[in-house]
Structure 1
């Protein structure tokens, strides 16, 4: 029995199917496995991950890799995602003109306006001036409270700013209760003797004055031009519980605007669309452009820099010049992104409209041929680049029990969404489009302001809950779950992800409802819209109602909510849609790898 391997190199995972070809040409599926893809899809760095996956799959059979007669790999295109901002306004603060802040543990409630005075200069204060006192972490909270209580008898102390995380400890010891904001790490960059406004909201509420540009203007007595300049600060403080804004009359506030720029789409002619038009308009122009040769961006603009970086980055990886690298498809998605306010004292950001982009990159060289040659050199086994991903996925999907021709498939991967239709005569029509799981992760990370892409990946994969006591948690669907034993105290009061093996604590202080909403919207923007876009391209007469059955395959088809979203969408067209179960054993995974094995035998298959 001849042993062959089908290898599917994806953006995130590399999957292998080992098949035995009998003398009569029938297939016996023997083993399968998946490993993380090493390097960028379609580059020589993939070879290491392929070898690991082959060793694991053959190890299941207690055989070595050199017993394989043939390795068949998919023809695939790298897909790279990045974010293009729409209307980036960077507020550069010199001499600390305006500073926003949002500590998580303030104390007291209300607003206060006064002149900044360092704690060590309390003895220089004047009775007729209201003061906001700034205290460094070198002074203990007991000493801070003692001095504030002592000087309150002769000074008008309206509020307090602390460097340490000790607002509650100080506030509890004050005779006259005032709003206290803490965690201003660079406290001595606050200019002394300048006017400041601080605000602390009641528990469960958010500030109102300092999150409103006219509120800031009221407290700090700003003119029209100054009010316009503080708008980014006000926006950055929306929904926060506490804030401090400081005005220096001689400070400089200026704006640097990098234009969002235009996208140029080259087909039979050059089409252009500005990023400011939004994702819907970008995709409309893209669909009307026909067969795309290349996509580029306006020079010295945000989108131009982003697309150039994608081409340059891919050129370095595959050692090819930029002019030989073409972007043949993009998926644009509207989103919001936190833009840093330069010069602030606590890393403040404000949310600005942005466009998320996934780009499909093609090169004049055939990267999979290089991979095949390197595998052959290292393993001394014949390696063949066997077919287009979508077509191979369709062949694999047919092994799902209950399927019949004609059949459509959606291969939901990490970098791309592939669609194909196979008719009753076995003819396949396919399309390969940018945008899938990695773009979803990028949108989640961007909109939630997460520092780690890994955290965004976990949020994408697992449902949420809020641990409300040591014995119960509230699920994101509103249900309650009770524990037989008390949970670890570290989870108490925190949002967690429900991994099958353990709860994963989300370190960022973000409400459960916000995380769930952004996660679901990111998946709808990417997967639902891209699935419809892909199927419209290949459906008979470009009519979705001409499709009767859709099988979902690929890593993202394992997601706990994406298949349900797609089932709801396609139910409107009376389409039967569901997760595939490749060979009746693999679930939606391994479709391409299985198709590569199946296509070798001309389509006859059996699972003995």
Structure 2
């Protein structure tokens, strides 16, 4: 009797399956386990995670780790994926002062124009159009009284910029309707005596004049060249309920160009240079045209160039191989939105620029896996074999799913990469590894929603949403309403929440539930559906995806509550039967490679 452990080292998790081999043909599965991968997949940093997962599985089986006779590893060469955001266009950012931060309590409504004046100096500006600046030390009652007095003296107060959140309180007390933007924390930086425009839209509406470059040009009497300069400002204000634009002195206006950069995509026969300005569709068309890819290089001094070189450097350090031998084997480009900070902004405003998200994958030699095997054997005193190629093992494990048969394709969707393998009727396996998976989805959500928190973005990816409409009801993202017998926590009222296990978690963002849902679903579709079709097209006979009858989904992302349905819907038009695996009829989409390793060993004896 012999106990064998199959160990699958993935980008995010390390899994094991323990089998008891009773004779040449008789075997029995006894336990499985899963832990977070330690280190980068395929490097000696994986050792501690392997030992942890083996200990856990052994404990479940009622044995100790030393009872294991043989450890089988997948022949996974080190793969590293990384992502970078790169702007598509050469963005001109104007260092004129602007405010457009959508405060929660703007006052009044309409558009007001005039020169900026400290509220304490209003009486010096009779018969002038002015925008008054109200610092923190002046409370709302005093401010309203000062404005009313100035209006009686003939000062044409057109609007106000307030440091505190007193917009509505001041608006309710002044004798004239005027737009008031509040919560401007750095009001001391607002230049005085400069032409300014303040706009506040009606509740439920958005501003129209200051979000339009020609509207700003009309207000400030700009020529065509100056109008080009303020396009980023207008774009940054689109969708806001309130905004302020101030024309600064000529000497204060500067421009800064952010180069979009280029990528050099190297194929086996030739290479092509493509500007990131052309967008993700053109980049991926170039990748497809040159496939298979030998390497990808980014322009020095750009985000993309830095990211690709960082990937090479990290892999070189952990494997001991020279930089020249580290090649990028695939990239995935996706159009997205990148927040760019507006220079001269006084409330942390950002312009959402069109951008490209890039995921890159590096593959090195088999040597590091041999290092893992030797070190693991030295530490545990257990024989360790590198059993077979990861994709082949995944197919063998997936074939234990009830209802599956060959020819069959497996999509292994993890954190860093999307892998696919096809076993034909002759049991020959073709496989491919592509850049981009769960980690890229998280990055896109984080960027497009402006969260600056990967943890929150990860939760948004994993869980469905709801809007708390009353203290006794929530509206789920599918439109249905759920009622509760007991009141919900007051802090949840009117908030968008994540429906985690038995708890509602409010999201620290003002985005609507519909906006968050759309961003989440688009990110998943762009990454997983795109890569699923790419991968299956590459491995299918004659590159015709319709020749594949069955597709089984495995890996952590196959557990997602919507990704499998998206992929199934996309593949349905090709007549493909697609669904989650159920390894050995009990594990679901997990444990396919670990199980396949043991089955491969048994069948090959």
Query: TM-score normalised to the size of structure 2?
Result: 0.94
Number of residue pairs aligned between Structure 1 and Structure 2: 602
The aligned residue for residue 452 of structure 1 is 453
The aligned residue for residue 305 of structure 1 is 306
The aligned residue for residue 342 of structure 1 is 343
Contact 1:262 1:297 in 2 (8 A): yes
Going from structure 1 to structure 2, the CA distance change for 1:603 and 1:504 (only over 3 Å counts) comes to: farther
The aligned residue for residue 439 of structure 2 is 438
The aligned residue for residue 168 of structure 2 is 168
The aligned residue for residue 328 of structure 2 is 327
Deviation at 1:432, TM superposition (A): 1.5
Contact 1:97 1:253 in 2 (8 A): no
Distance in 1 between residues matched to 2:46 and 2:24, nearest whole Å: 34
Distance in 1 between residues matched to 2:254 and 2:83, nearest whole Å: 30
3-state SS in 2 of match to 1:457: helix
Going from structure 1 to structure 2, the CA distance change for 1:383 and 1:167 (only over 3 Å counts) comes to: farther
The answer as to 2:24 corresponding to 1:24 is: yes
Contact 1:144 1:170 in 2 (8 A): yes
Going from structure 1 to structure 2, the CA distance change for 1:319 and 1:117 (only over 3 Å counts) comes to: farther
The answer as to 2:240 corresponding to 1:240 is: yes
Deviation at 1:238, TM superposition (A): 0.8
**1:31-70, aligned counterparts within 5 Å?**
31-70=31-70
3-state SS in 1 of match to 2:246: strand
Distance in 2 between residues matched to 1:220 and 1:342, nearest whole Å: 19
3-state SS in 1 of match to 2:293: coil
The aligned residue for residue 127 of structure 1 is 126
After superposition, give the CA deviation of every residue in 1:67-117 in whole Å (9 maximum; x if it has no partner): 2222222233423231342434454554x4445443233222111112112
Deviation at 1:301, TM superposition (A): 4.1
Contact 2:328 2:361 in 1 (8 A): yes
After superposition, give the CA deviation of every residue in 1:521-569 in whole Å (9 maximum; x if it has no partner): 2112111121111111111222222111111111111111111111112
The answer as to 2:194 corresponding to 1:194 is: yes
3-state SS in 2 of match to 1:599: helix
Distance in 2 between residues matched to 1:46 and 1:81, nearest whole Å: 18
Deviation at 1:411, TM superposition (A): 0.9
The aligned residue for residue 143 of structure 1 is 142
The aligned residue for residue 179 of structure 1 is 179
The aligned residue for residue 157 of structure 2 is 157
Deviation at 1:391, TM superposition (A): 1.3
Aligned CA-pair RMSD: 2.2
Going from structure 1 to structure 2, the CA distance change for 1:166 and 1:2 (only over 3 Å counts) comes to: farther
Segment drifting more, 587-596 vs 285-294: 285-294
The aligned residue for residue 489 of structure 2 is 488
After superposition, give the CA deviation of every residue in 1:325-365 in whole Å (9 maximum; x if it has no partner): 11111112222222222332222222222222111112346
Distance in 2 between residues matched to 1:22 and 1:174, nearest whole Å: 89
The aligned residue for residue 221 of structure 2 is 221
Deviation at 1:64, TM superposition (A): 2.5
Distance in 2 between residues matched to 1:99 and 1:254, nearest whole Å: 18
Deviation at 1:14, TM superposition (A): 1.8
The answer as to 2:462 corresponding to 1:461 is: yes
The aligned residue for residue 2 of structure 2 is 2
**Which runs of 5 or more structure 1 residues have no equivalent in the other structure?**
none
Contact 1:84 1:306 in 2 (8 A): no
The aligned residue for residue 368 of structure 1 is 369
Distance in 2 between residues matched to 1:97 and 1:591, nearest whole Å: 57
**Which runs of 5 or more structure 2 residues have no equivalent in the other structure?**
none
Distance in 2 between residues matched to 1:32 and 1:17, nearest whole Å: 4
Contact 1:325 1:361 in 2 (8 A): yes
The aligned residue for residue 289 of structure 1 is 290
3-state SS in 1 of match to 2:211: coil
Distance in 2 between residues matched to 1:122 and 1:223, nearest whole Å: 31
Going from structure 1 to structure 2, the CA distance change for 1:346 and 1:89 (only over 3 Å counts) comes to: farther
Query: TM-score normalised to the size of structure 1?
Result: 0.94
Distance in 1 between residues matched to 2:191 and 2:180, nearest whole Å: 18
Going from structure 1 to structure 2, the CA distance change for 1:27 and 1:330 (only over 3 Å counts) comes to: farther
Deviation at 1:293, TM superposition (A): 2.2
Going from structure 1 to structure 2, the CA distance change for 1:367 and 1:565 (only over 3 Å counts) comes to: same
Contact 2:263 2:296 in 1 (8 A): no
